[in-house]
Amino acid sequence: MRELARLLLLSAALLAACSWHHARTSSAGVAACDPAAQGAFDAGQLVRARQGFAAGLAAATRAWDRDRQEVCTFYLGLVAQTEARQQTDPRQRRQLLAEAVRWYQTARPKASRAPGRAANLARVYADLGDPARADALFDAALARARGDTRAALARSYARLLEPRNWVRSVELYRQVLARAPTDDDSREALFSLLVGNAPQELPNAVWDAVDSGRVLQAQQAALHGLTRSETSGPARTELLAGLVAALSQQHYDSAGFAASEVGLALRRLETDPQVAAGARQVLLAHSANKPKARDFKWWNTSGTPYRRSPLFAFRSLLRSLALRADQGDPRLAKQYLTAAADLGAETPDTQLWIEVAGNQLATGDFDTFDESVERWDRLLQRSTATIGREDLAVYRQTMGEVRERVETLRAQAASVRRRHGLYLADGGCIYGPGSCSDDVMLRIPVSSLPIPGKRAVSGLSEQTLIEVGCRGRRVEQLLSQWPSVPGSVTVRLVPYAFQISFPRGRRPDPQQPTQQGWQRVALDTQPAWLSSAAWTRGSDLYLADSLRRQLLRIDAQGNLKEAVPALMPDGDDGYLHVQRSPAGEVVAEQASGELELGVGSGSSGTLQLLGRGTAKGEVGSVLQWTPLENRGILAVADLVGKDGIWRNAIIQLDAAGQQVEIVHWIGRHGRDSDLYRVGIPALAAIGAVGYFLALEEDPIGLYELRRGGLPHRLSTLPPIPGGLRDQLHRQMTLDRTADLFRLLAAGSIPAGIFGQGDALFLLDRHAEKTTGRISWNLVRLDPRNCRRFYATSIPTTAPHLTAAPGDRLWAFFEKQVVEGFGRQAVPSMLLVSSELLRATSPGVSAPMAKIGRPFGAERTR
Amino acid sequence: MRGFIAAGATALLVLAEQNTSVPSDPPPTIAVVAHLEGKLFAALGEREHLRLRHDIALRFTYFARQRLPCMTWVEVEPGPRAVTALDAARATLFVYLRQLPEGLSSSFHLSLSATVRAGSPVPQMLGGWADWPVQSYLDYKGHLDRLQRSVDDFMAAHLWTDAFEREINAHFIRQVPIADRIAVDAEHRRLIVPLDAERLRLADGSRILVELTAPFCRGNLERCTLVLVSRGPVYGGTFHDQLQCEVIERRDCCTKETWTADLPDQIARALPGSVHVFLDAAHRHCPYGIAICSGEDGLFRKPSAQ
């Protein structure tokens, strides 16, 4: 009995093993013929493959393995067919095809639903000049097949039919796409057939593609169709509509649209007698500041179905442009939505109306909302167009909700007296009744900024226009030789009467929301020129406004707490830069070149940077500096040699300021020092160890400097794009400041290094070439070898950032486009915990990359 | 009887010997995490908030599995297990749903950003690259289902376009290694990507990039990219069901030759940890199962299932 049990057990094990073996050597339920032959076939070794499959067939026949026999005959047919395709001699080719037929027929194609057997054999028949037989085989196989198998067969058949029966081929491709809308090859083939044979049918296929989300394909096909002279009549209009519908589903930069592939193609169509106006109006929609329905009359053509009409397509485009224009200000979107609603105003579009109503609600345009809803309801009652029941229900529900909101807001508005901000010359803004809103700005000419005490020898004042209003004040225009305005002496005194005072509770809206772990805080102060910022030991920040030469102390909520000095300074007083030392004290640079240590802490000391002698000349000015441990300083300096030539170098000063040592030569004053001058923070410290970016080098090197040692190059950053340095140098004049910073923002140049605690960070700005979209990363580096530990994406697209590292928080000030010297808005700052950036928090969920290799291979000295 | 048992055991060993195929590696796991930002979401209860996040990640994953089958997509449910799931993933894709602006009327914007774990040759963080307007916001508060339906509809109808796929392939899929090793079938001059070809569903001719540091010329270690094209699954043998590829180009290498006799040895001597296999951004998937996918020449290379 026990023996019997063992026997049964063994049998079961053997069966299982055989079954496993079968499964391992077959795929998707198909038995393998001969793995070695298969490998040879895949590698194109057809002779070896033929031998192997023949041996496999013999073995299968001996073993009465019918499945394997069929697979082997299939492969023998495939080998013969492949050989025939490579054969140039017609007679031998025919022989091989005939052999392929024999093998495939042995594989019983008619009894099988497998697409491979039928499709390959049909192709052999076609190659043998017997298309009727190929068709019959395909038709029979299609009739038997279902689902994906049928689609695969239909696809193969459609491809075979392309040259001789495009009508049937198109029909088959349509069937394929109905089953597999993402089969891009089939859609491509369909478009190609329609363009060449039936251009009037192309628009519908383009719309099908749009509806299936293949918008790029639809766009390409529409453009292709429009370039062909065979496409005429209404088909051209419909194709342009399809193209616009495809555009409306895409996300792209409207500002760069005219230069895009589609934009250029539309420009070429501006001479097309049939669609010129339509093409022009699409371009206009992307560039217009105040689009109006009357500008887009060409598109006011509805049709049946409405959802494939030019009107619907263009309205969709305007809706998508509205959403992109909005970016936090619904007034920007209003123009587009109103234009879309007014275009073909009698044609209902409930989804569009919902968006218009939402916009009217957001912009407080309640009276227009009432009128609109009344009109839309009337139109719906008399409209003959079919509107889906569900669409109608959504429309009714939404309008009811909007109406409810409008009524609530009206009631609130009636109970609150409107308040206006009013700027007073003696102390900022107050709120109260009156006709002044907080958008009102006073323009005041101010003499001689940034050095008010200095007068030009010519007798002409160096003057500046300053805008002053409830949102702060900013330098409007710097005019180096502006004739004195009568009474300007009196006016000159005006700034001294201005104590910086900003309204509370009325802040600019942050431009973008922030992601988890990050907090965007609006600033109620607007520094004229934010050069740097540093955290205090508490949770406040000092902002250095190098134009007004004041330090603005703000809290983490963005509220101004004090300005130091309180009044705009005269002469060489005031501050230019501020930094936080490794020990946590705030160090500020005065315009006189003196560093004030321990700002705000009461334990102050000073260290004069200028005038110190080195072996190569006297320190004439300082471009950048960073505090080291024990109050040492690393600085980028202008050195004036005895020969009168200005040179740049990185210098190190000890705490007492007695020893000044040149640690790195930059070169002669000029092109080499440009990147230091534009404010890229090139210096950082971890304790007593300094780090610097050699910005004049190409590619830029990152150096470590230990006390008493020579600088040690740790790594190399990616090279700066060719020619950029020259371009920057050409813009290094005051009147070209805007162009200079535009170049910097677009240049993908390292944006600075920072030390915080024992960690070193590289701030990296990347500008996308095509869209110009800017992204920022803060990369944590291993200070020993500059390997990248972590990279954290900073959720901003601001063109410029000023970073302030802190023990608990980092602040990133989002600086907008520089419109001119002293003209740069800083609407907000981003706050993020230092732990997140150091990736020390285990539950951290912000985007973070762990990157485990150095970014530069070079390691010298 | 003992003899019979011994014979049976021998047969088992023989069968086992014949099937020494190397198991395929699993494709890389991508964790999908949804984040919500905006006052509307902040007003939701914690449970609703978590549910909505989970549903968004789930919905995104559903589409990703269909359209980007070369990765294992898993939605990460917010909570204590999330950290473990994120640690196990090769990369994380963050789906942000933002309410913008936070006013009376606003839109939802969907954007993505991603991180790739160590081993990626991409030195910089992937940023968010797409904002997708969803639908004007009126009042979803207290109507979570409506909000969810709105997001679902958007994803189904507008998000997964070919334009989006092009972006995600170029900016994300291209950056995530699908394997960290490559095998060589020297006899047939093929490189084998050790993944299940059926699962990858790559169309014939799709490009694959192998980045590695190996002694290609004169014994010096050199970082180089081998450009491969996929040639479908291997049937039988050591690499059964894995993806076989042909070398068509050596990029940034000391030699331009495609296949050389010493290539297998050079690959075997590659610097440990330096091998990463990537899908080219322009790769294509077979719209059906690989078994019924015809090759570039229009021929079916497999008889296929009955």
pLDDT digits 0-9 by tens, A476-523: 444 333 333 332 222 222 222 222 222 333 333 444 445 667 888 888
Give dist(CA B121, CA B174) in Å, integer.
11
Establish if B272 touches chain A: CB-CB under 8 angstroms. no
Going by DSSP bridges, is the β-strand pair B106-116/B132-137 parallel, antiparallel, or unpaired? Answer: antiparallel
Are B101 and A509 in contact (CB < 8 Å)? yes
Higher pLDDT, A344 or A843: A344
Crossing angle of helices A66-86 and A115-127, rounded to 10° = 30
pLDDT tier, A791 (very low <50, low <70, confident <90, very high otherwise)? confident
Average pLDDT over residues A816-842: 78
Which residue is associated with the tokens 């044609």? A347
Q: Which residues does residue B263 pair with via DSSP β-bridges, in sequence order?
A: none
Tell me if A545 sits within 8 A of A528, measured CB to CB.
yes
How many of the other CB atoms lie within 10 Å of CB of A188? 15
From A114, A359, A795, residue closest to B306, measured CB to CB: A114
Residue recorded with tokens 């409306």: A248
A229, with CB counted inside 10 A (0-12, 13-18, 19+), is exposed
> Can you tell me the ipTM of this complex?
0.87
At residue A296 the predicted structure's pLDDT band, cuts being 50, 70 and 90, is very high
Distance between A667 CA and the closest CA of chain B, angstroms? 31
Residue type, A268: R
Cβ atoms within 10 Å of B290's Cβ, excluding its own: 25
Q: Are A573 and A588 in contact (CB under 8 A)?
A: no
What is the distance, to the nearest Å, from the Cα of residue A836 to the centroid of all Cα atoms in its chain?
23
Residues of chain A found within 8 Å of residue B294, distances taken between Cβ atoms: 119, 152, 155-156
Q: Using the predicted structure, report yes or no on whether residue A360 has a pLDDT greater than 60.
A: yes
Dihedral sign, CA of B153, B154, B157, B161? negative
Chain A contact for B90, CB < 8 A?
no
Tell if the CB–CB gap between B237 and A29 is shorter than 8 Å: no
SS3 A347: coil
Which residues on A lie below 8 Å from B288 (Cβ)?
148-149, 151-152, 180
The nearest alpha carbon in chain A to B161 belongs to A213
CB contact under 8 A, B303 and A788: no
Helix (H, G, I), strand (E, B) or coil at B248: strand
Please indicate whether residue A447 or residue A98 has the higher confidence score (pLDDT): A98
Q: Answer for the pair A153, A115: CB distance below 8 angstroms, yes or no.
A: yes
Q: How far apart are CA B121 and CA B116, in angstroms?
A: 9
Residue A827 has what pLDDT? 85
Contacts of B83 in chain A (CB under 8 A): 842-843
Q: Are the C-beta atoms of A821 and A478 separated by less than 8 Å?
A: yes
Residues A481 and A464: beta-carbon distance below 8 Å:
no
pLDDT digits (tens, 9 = 90+) for A176-234: 999 999 999 999 999 999 999 999 999 999 999 999 999 999 999 999 999 987 777 78
Mean model confidence pLDDT for chain B: 80
pLDDT value at residue A229: 78
| A769: confidence class by pLDDT, cuts 50, 70, 90 | confident
CB pairs under 8 A between A and B: 282
Comparing CB atoms, the residue among A14, A40, A358 nearest residue B8 is A14
Residue B49 sits at the chain A interface (C-beta within 8 Å): no
Is residue B133 predicted with pLDDT exceeding 90? Answer: no
pLDDT for A619: 85
**Among the ranges given (A48-52, A551-555, A736-740, B174-178), the one the predictor scored with the smallest mean pLDDT:** A736-740
pLDDT digits (tens, 9 = 90+) for B2-43: 454 444 444 443 344 344 678 899 999 999 988 888 777 777
Residue with tokens 């198991």: B23
Tell me how far apart the terminal alpha carbons of chain B are, to the nearest angstrom. 41
CB contact under 8 Å between A27 and B8, yes or no, is no
Three-state secondary structure call for residue B244: strand
The answer to whether the beta carbons of residues A124 and A97 sit under 8 Å apart is yes
CA B19, B22, B27 angle in degrees (round to 5)? 140
